[in-house]
Structure formats: structure tokens, C-alpha cells
Structure 1
Amino acid sequence: MRWRNPLRSLTLRLTLVYMALFYGSIGLMLGVSYFGGVWRPLQEVERRIQVESDEMVSVYARDGRDALIRALERRAATPRGRLPYHVLVARGGGVVAANLIDWPRVAGREWRRYEFGTYATGAEEEHEAVVRDVALAGGYRLIVGLDTEDLDEREDLILEALSWGLGMTLALGVIGGLVMTFAVAQRLESINRAARAVIAGDLSGRVALRGSGDDFDQLATTLNEMLSRIEQLVASISRVSDNIAHELRTPLTRLRAELEELADPATPSVEHHARTAAALEEAARLQSMFEALLRIARLQSGEQPALTTVNLRPLVEDAVEWHRPAAEARDQSLTLTSDPDVLVAGDRDLIFQMVSNLLDNALKFSPPGGRIEVAVAADASGPALVVRDNGPGIPHGERQRVFERFYRTRTEGVGGFGLGLSLVDAAAKRIGASIHLSDAEPGLQATVRFRPA
């Protein structure tokens, strides 16, 4: 198997797309979790600190430093859910009031997140907090904050899940994509091998099935059916070509012999008329053969005719009357029974051609004094045309082959090219009808099932 750029693989590209979508879904999920579990609670904490710090600033402005210290102590003694932190620093850096071990020594941004050391619970602990750093009149500096250790842990958990999730997704996605690409490439390569074999002229190759019933097995089954059909068609074309060569050899040889006799100055003039008639007869047979082949080819490759509603009874009556003189010349009985109106979907000319060919076959293969019965009726299976004769019939093993062009049963004394039933079969398929041959005991029964109108 030739190496191909992996990025040109549809499977790998789809894997990358799904990975991107999966990444996006993970990011969206963790983003929603972060928004609801960290960001919004932090906004609530900041709003609470804003209110409490503004209250402390008001106490200092109204009642002075000592009142502020008492207010900070009351706040520290009555926590509401989150541990409250505070530091009040004088102009020279001296601590006036605090429940923290350390804090930012240099004033910076007004709002910040900071990991403080505290003894608020009786032992030294490290806690993450959100604080507001406010400058007061007289050079004092007030830091007011609330504990956010739980939010910090939640944030770390979300970020850790994001990093691990994305990393594992990347690794598994790449491995899975490569494995899937390789597996799909193997299945596609088996299809490519079969296709290349067909291109090389070997129509016997088939795509291997794994028996899994998956999409590739279904595709392989369809392709194998197509290859079988192509093989049959090519074999049929080969047989038709051989048959055409065989069928043409005899009449062309006879025609050439007749023309050579006509061209010979020694040929008596009285023989010229007979020779000319024989040559014309052979030319007419050849013309008839090629016209039949051309009709079959047009039926098999032409566009689907526009179907109309056709009443079978008058059409079959016309065909029967057309063939009645030939039946009478052989002392044969030709009868028709029909329901009053049997409407089918079809093409009038094609149906007439089908009926004529079936009647012609029945007349040829029935013995002198024989009988041909034609019936038109509609039953539970739909409208049908039945033509029965009491001739030699067709052996069961040959009933499908008689639809092949130039195939003829071993019947003595019966002329023809072996194209009549091929023409009937091609016409039936064009209008969506079906033909079935069965034993009439004795003779043959041909049943044509039409689509109801």
C-alpha cells in the first residue's frame, strides 16, 4: 500500500474536527462551571467587601480611628459565612489593628487576590482572600477582605481538570484517529485492489467481506453485486459477439457465393433471376437481423419511455388478427380470451411488439394443426398476458438463457435468429413489466405481468 499524506485522509480530518468539537464542548462545560462556581461567587465577595469597606471608611470619617478599630473587631468576631480579614496600618507602617500575620507591605492595586497568613482560627494558616486596599485620611491604610480559599480550590480543580482533560483528549484523539485512519484505509484498499483488478481486465476479483455487516461490508456487497453484473454483461457481450460472427458467417458466405455466380460471365441468363432472388433473400435476412439487434440495443440503452394507460384487449386483438393468416396457413388454431378492459401502464408500440414476437414464436414452434391460446386478464397479482402453445416447449434449464441474444433451443426445422425473446425481455424491462416462462404440458406458456395503470 502506497504511503499517503495523513492530512489528506478524510477519516483523520474528521477525527481532528471531532477533537476540536470535543475540545470546544469541554471548554464550554468547564467555562460554565468556572462562571457559576468561581467567577460569580467572586463577584458576590467583592460586592460584600465593597459594602463593608465603605462602611468602615464611613465609621473612620465620622467617629475616628478608635471607632474604626472597634468596628473592625466586631466584624472579625461575627463572621457571616466567610472569614473576615482586616489590617489597619498607620502612616509609618505601624500596625494599629490586624487579624493577619502578613499582608501586602506596599500599597498597590485597590483590588487583589492574595494568600494571607492568619491566626483567626487559633493556629497559623494560609488562606486565599480577596481584599480591598483603601487609603484613609491621616495617612492610614485600611485593608479589608474575605476568605476565598474554597473558591481558590474550586478554581484549581477546574483548571486541573481542563489541563488533564485536554491533554488526554489530545493523546486519545491522535491515537484513535491514527488507528481509525489505518483501519479505514485497509478497508478502502481492498476496494481499490478490486477496482484496479477490474481496470486491468480481471472481472473475477471481489471485495473481501468481514461479516460485520457494517457500512463497509454493505458497500462491499453492493460493489460485488455490481462487479458480478458487469462480469455477466461482459460475458454476454462476448457471447453476442461470437454469436454475431457465427450467425453472419453463413449468410455472408452464401451471399458472396450468389454474387460471384452473378458476376461470372459463364452463368446462364436463366439462372440470374434465381441467383438475384437468393442474394436479395440473404440480404433481407441480414437486414432483419441487424434491425432486431438495433431495436434490442435501443431498448436496453435508450431513455425510459413516457408510460401511458393502455387497454390490453384491443391491442392484443389487433396482434392476434395480424397473425391469424399465418396460423391458418399452417392449419393452427389461434384463440383469444380477454376480460372487457385490462388497463396497464406502458407504451403501446412496445407492448404490440412484445405480443407480436410471442405470437410469432408460438406459431413457429407449434406443429401444423397445433393450437395457440392467448389470454388477457387481471387477477390478484395484477394484469397479465398469457400465450400458450402445444409445441416442444423449452427445457427448464434453458428458460433463462433463451432471453440471451442468438440463443436457440435444439429444435429441428425451426428458423430464426434467436432474437425474438431477447426483444420481448428488453421491451418488458423498459416498461417495468416481467416475463415468466413455464411448462404448458405440453408446450410453453409465456406470462407477461404488467404494471397496473
Structure 2
Amino acid sequence: MSAPTERDQGNLRGRDRISSNLLVLFLMVFSLIAVAALSAMLVGSALRSDRQYLDETQRRLLATLESGGLSGLTVAVQESGATLVPAAHPVGIALWRVIGDRRTLLAETWPGLGMALTDDQGNATSPEGQASLNGRRLSLRWIDTTTATQDWRTPYRDVALAIAQPRPTDQIRKTRGILILIWGITLLFLAALVYLSLDHRRRHAAGLDAISDRLDRFAAGETDLRMPADPRTPELRRLHARLDHVMDQLDKLMGGLRHISAHMAHELNSPLQKIRGGLSRVSRASTDEDRQIAINEIETVLDVTRLRLQNLMQLFRLNAGEVATLDDPVDLSDLTESVIEDLESIVNDQDRRCELRLQPGIVVAGNRPLLELMITNLLTNIGKYAPPGSEVCVALTAENDTFRLEVSNTGSCFPPVVRDRAFRRFVRGTDGREATSAGLGLSLIAAIVDAHDFHASLPASDTKAIVEITGACAAPAGGPGAVARVSS
């Protein structure tokens, strides 16, 4: 899969910005719609309340007129309309007697209200809906007494009534104050939202730029570089942690590759010198027998070098997770015996005495070629490092669904400093035969063991070199007995 281009990355960043912008815009529009709807509800409620006050005042006026007549209504209005106006609500009342085309003011609750609504001849000067008194605007309603009293026993066609209230009313002023507060808070919220969104975008972009800069420097060779400890935004913390982990792994891998390059250059130098010397001996050989001996030596060097390279490649395939399957049933008892038979000449070389103790029918889940390579490397190490005349023991047992494979030899042991690092790459023994090994045997074994979720260890011993591998059995062992074979 190809890496994303700058255009692809720009498109991704553009979509991210569009998504965040749409979210912020949605919140702003939703907030404005919600506040506008709330404002309309509050204003509507205030206007309905004012109309209800006027309706209630009109109802009381007509009720007083019906029960007390014009004189009773006049007295009630002259008493400031206390019984006519709902409590704590400023409503002005003006009452006239209509004779022909002329109106005579009988009573008013606010001084000057009657004169503000009529001229000198008593004619109405203020239309329905609005008026003014002493520079103050009023909301005015004329009551049609002719229509309202036409069904009464005594209709009143010669009475004129007007009720007024200040504009704006107390209820409207309170509502206006509430709306100013609500809109102020909303605008502050929207301003804060826009600021935080822009600031977050700026810090997020700065954080991504910092990551990009670190990655560029890492790619340029600063492999010890890591992400900033304090990311610009909390959302980048997890990304920083993951990138740090990846950079750690890449740093280790690149370090290993550098080590391998230098090490393999050194390791291949000796075989190449041997091959060159062998070719020189072939060219100088005077007999066919001497020539064949030199050719055989060259072939041996090539086989050893090829094995080292194969082990190295297999080790890196394991570390890269390239193994296809690790869950096939493998008869470890049969596999161990088969490998020992193939390598019997190596194990029994130099007067060594080999003892084989195998419990039959031990089956594990794994990859047969890898397990064969593991056992082969164990026995090859015996051939390299077990002293002449030593006793070699290969034991495979199972107990409680756990197998135990132990390979040991007398005459040598692993010093504590070697036991602590023996399973690392390119670590060799300390018996003076370093030049015959690339230090891959135990590290390859450890990689195979780890891939199968087994456990490898070097038990401490002053008389033996012991390598022990344990793990889970895939099926119960075939029997508790052991097949023992001693060869010398």
C-alpha cells in the first residue's frame, strides 16, 4: 500500500476542518434558534399578560356599570379605580357622559388622562391603540359601551369609557431585561465557542506540525528523537504514545540492522578469506586428491555461511511476524528423535556420550519446520560447545499438560553473565571458540520459543550447560513412560 500523498493529506485535513466547522456552525445556529424561540415565548407571554389585565379591567368596569349604574361607576373611578384595576398593575381609566356630539368628563384615575384623550369640545383625539400623557406613551383601548350593554335591561348608549396602560408595561420591561441577559449570555457563549474552536484548531495544527517535524527529523537519522512530552491538545496524547512506541521499535530495528551489517561484514570476511585460500590451494594442487580436499573445504565453508544466513533471515522473519501458521499439531517426541538421528554424528563427535530420554506421544501446537529448526540449533550448539568426552543428555517429558525439553552437557556451564544475555542476538559463549559462531543460535531459539508462547531458560549449574524449554501440550501425552537410548 502506497503512502498518502501531500494532496491526500491536505484533503483529509480539509475534511477534518469542514467537519469541525460544521459542528461549530450547527451549535451556533441551534443556540440562536433556541434563544430566538425562547425570546418569542417570553414576549408573547408578556403581551398576553397585558391583554389579560386590560380584559380584566374592562370586565370589572362593565360589571360595576351594570350593578351600580353610571353613578356607581363614576364613584368607583373617582376612588382611583382601586376595585376596578387588578392589583399592582398600572391601568388608567377615563369616564365620560356623552350628550349629543359632546363628551363631559365624569372621572379619571390619572390626572390629565381625560384631557389627553379629548379636545376642548370633548371629541376623542386619540385613536384606538395609542396615546400619550405628559410625554409618556400609552397603550389605549376604547370600550364600546353601546354594543357591550345592548342586551342589558338598561342599555348605556351615552357613556364613553377608555382604559390605558404605559408603553412599555412593567411586564414588558421585565421581559426586556430578561431577554437582554439571555442574549448577552448567548452571545458570550457563542464568542467563547468560536474562540475555543479557533484556538483548538490552531493548537491541533501546531501539534500536527510538531509531529510532522519530529517524524521528518527521525527519518533524517535522529532515531533517538521522540514525541514532545506535553502535546498541544489532549486528543494527541494517544497518538504521541503510539508514535513513541513505533519510533522505539524502529530505533531498535534500525540499530539491529546497523549491528547486523557491521557484524555480518565481519563474519563474512573470514569465510571469504577461507574460500580465497581454498581456491589458491586448488590452483596449486599437484594431485587430484589434494585438489579434492581443497574443494571439500570450500564447500564446508559455503555450507556454514549459508546456514548462518538462513538462521539470520529466519530470525528476522519471526520478529516481523511472517510465520504463516503456528497451530498445527506437531508430535514433538517423534520430531526430536528424528532430528537427533539426523545429527547423531555431530552430537557423538569427539568421544561424546549421548543419552536420549523421550516420553512418547507429546503433541504441541506449532509450526513443524520452526520447531525442527529449534531442536536442530540446540543440538548444533552441543556439537560446537560441548567439550570432547562430555556427556550429552536430551530429555523430553510432560506433566500436567506441560512439556519440558532439556538439552545439557557436562564439562562446561553458562557463567551468570552469559545466562543473563544469552538469548540476545550476536551473544556468544566465552570458551574461546567465538570465531565459529555468529551468535545467532540461542537468539533464534528464543524467537521460535516466543512465537509459540513457550518459555526458554538457562538453569544455573556449576557442572552442566543446560538449556530448558517448557510449554503447553496440545493433547495429553501418549504415556508416562520414557524411551531411553544411550549411544557413545
Normalising by structure 2, what TM-score?
A: 0.66
Query: Are 1:425 and 2:431 matched, yes or no?
Result: no
Corresponding residue for 2:296?
277
Q: Partners in 1 of 2:35 and 2:410 — Cα distance?
A: 82
Query: Are 1:246 and 2:251 matched, yes or no?
Result: no
Q: Give the match's secondary structure for 2:458.
A: strand
Query: Aligned partner of 2:295: which letter?
Result: T
Structure 1 residues 345 and 277 mapped into 2: Cα distance closer, same or farther (>3 Å)?
Answer: closer
Query: Aligned partner of 2:456: which letter?
Result: I
Q: Partners in 2 of 1:325 and 1:68 — Cα distance?
A: 138
Q: Partners in 1 of 2:105 and 2:339 — Cα distance?
A: 123
Deviations 1:181-230 (CA, angstroms, capped at 9, x unpaired): 66666655554443232121111223343599x77666545544433332
* Greater mean deviation of Cα atoms: 94-103 or 279-288: 94-103
Deviation at 1:238, TM superposition (A): 1.0
Structure 1 residues 362 and 261 mapped into 2: Cα distance closer, same or farther (>3 Å)?
Answer: closer
Q: Partners in 2 of 1:306 and 1:289 — Cα distance?
A: 24
Counting only pairs closer than 5 Å after superposition, residues 31-46 of structure 1 correspond to structure 2 as 32=38, 35=41, 39-40=44-45, 42-43=47-48, 45-46=50-51
Structure 1 residues 376 and 270 mapped into 2: Cα distance closer, same or farther (>3 Å)?
Answer: closer
Query: Are 1:353 and 2:366 matched, yes or no?
Result: no
Q: Give the match's secondary structure for 1:439.
A: coil
Deviation at 1:240, TM superposition (A): 0.9
Q: Partners in 1 of 2:212 and 2:415 — Cα distance?
A: 42
Structure 1 residues 328 and 34 mapped into 2: Cα distance closer, same or farther (>3 Å)?
Answer: same
Q: Over alpha carbons, which structure has the higher Rg?
A: 2
Structure 1 residues 222 and 168 mapped into 2: Cα distance closer, same or farther (>3 Å)?
Answer: same
Counterpart among 109, 133, 144 of residue 99 in structure 1: 109
Query: Aligned partner of 1:159: which letter?
Result: L
Corresponding residue for 2:83?
77
Counterpart among 414, 427, 431 of residue 411 in structure 1: 431
Query: Aligned partner of 2:51: which letter?
Result: E
Paired residues of 1:305 and 1:430 also in contact (CA < 8 A): no
Q: Partners in 2 of 1:40 and 1:434 — Cα distance?
A: 79
Query: Aligned partner of 1:230: which letter?
Result: L
* Greater mean deviation of Cα atoms: 141-150 or 286-295: 141-150
Corresponding residue for 2:221?
201
Corresponding residue for 1:157?
177
Deviation at 1:159, TM superposition (A): 1.9
Q: Partners in 1 of 2:367 and 2:383 — Cα distance?
A: 24
Deviation at 1:168, TM superposition (A): 3.3
Normalising by structure 1, what TM-score?
A: 0.71
Deviation at 1:237, TM superposition (A): 0.5
Paired residues of 1:312 and 1:342 also in contact (CA < 8 A): yes
Counting only pairs closer than 5 Å after superposition, residues 34-433 of structure 1 correspond to structure 2 as 35=41, 39-40=44-45, 42-43=47-48, 45-46=50-51, 49-50=54-55, 53=58, 66=70, 73=77, 77-81=83-87, 83=89, 84-87=91-94, 98-100=108-110, 106-107=126-127, 143-144=162-163, 149-170=169-190, 172-173=192-193, 190-209=210-229, 220-259=240-279, 261-262=281-282, 267-301=286-320, 302=322, 305-308=325-328, 310=330, 312-320=332-340, 322-324=342-344, 326-329=346-349, 330-336=351-357, 344-367=364-387, 368-377=389-398, 384-390=404-410, 392-399=412-419, 402-413=422-433, 415-433=436-454
* Greater mean deviation of Cα atoms: 409-418 or 248-257: 409-418
Paired residues of 1:59 and 1:67 also in contact (CA < 8 A): no
Paired residues of 1:345 and 1:450 also in contact (CA < 8 A): no
Identity between Structure 1 and Structure 2 (%): 18
Counterpart among 424, 436, 447 of residue 457 in structure 2: 436
Deviation at 1:357, TM superposition (A): 1.9
Unpaired segments of 5 or more residues in structure 1?
A: 1-6, 118-123
Structure 1 residues 385 and 85 mapped into 2: Cα distance closer, same or farther (>3 Å)?
Answer: farther
Paired residues of 1:435 and 1:448 also in contact (CA < 8 A): yes
Q: Partners in 2 of 1:402 and 1:127 — Cα distance?
A: 100
Q: Give the match's secondary structure for 2:325.
A: coil
Structure 1 residues 411 and 82 mapped into 2: Cα distance closer, same or farther (>3 Å)?
Answer: same
Paired residues of 2:346 and 2:380 also in contact (CA < 8 A): no
User: What count of residue pairs does the alignment treat as equivalent?
Assistant: 431
Q: Partners in 2 of 1:308 and 1:210 — Cα distance?
A: 47
Paired residues of 1:19 and 1:170 also in contact (CA < 8 A): no
* Greater mean deviation of Cα atoms: 83-92 or 346-355: 83-92
* Greater mean deviation of Cα atoms: 14-23 or 221-230: 14-23
Question: What is the root-mean-square deviation of aligned Cα atoms in Å?
Answer: 5.1
Deviation at 1:241, TM superposition (A): 1.1
